[in-house]
Homo-oligomer: A and B are copies of this chain.
Amino acid sequence: MQESFSIGDLGRLTGCQVVTIRYYEKIGILAEPGRSSGGHRIYGPEHRDRLTFVRKARELGFSLDTVRSLLSLSETPEGTPCADVDRIASRHLVEVREKIAALKSLEGTLEGLLDICSHTTVEQCRVLDALRD
């Protein structure tokens, strides 16, 4: 069974936009696939799997650069310890937690401003006051 997909098929299968697939090819995240006689890209299961990997990693918030590292780690010979994968994921978790903390602090500030703004006029507005120093 030879499975082959057009770029549109691949997009549908992976939930990835066609333009994004071409973009990934251009920046070397995806290998150049074969072409039809007319020049259309023809993909196989290996492209689908790799793109699925990329999309899932992106959904988990990894940068494309980190995705590159994860891809090459996942293609490492069997028996290679996954300590590097762990390290990357742990570091990412730390960053996610830092972002949450920053946003929570921001949330508190905004809540405070909106609480005390009694919906009056622009020259008495607490939100604008906070910005005007």
List A residues at the B interface (Cβ < 8 Å): 49, 52-53, 56-57, 60-61, 70, 73-74, 76, 78-83, 85-86, 89-90, 92-93, 96-97, 99-100, 103-104, 106-107, 109-111, 113-114, 117, 119-125, 127-128, 130-133
**In the complex, which residues of chain B have a beta carbon less than 8 angstroms from the beta carbon of A99?**
103
Partner of A93, one of B52, B53, B107: B107
Q: Which of A57, A79, A80, A86 has the most CB of B within 10 A?
A: A86
Interface of A is mostly: helix
When A93-B111, A93-B114 are in contact, do A85 and B125 touch as well, CB less than 8 Å? Answer: yes
When A80-B121, A114-B93, A121-B80 are in contact, do A128 and B70 touch as well, CB less than 8 Å? Answer: yes
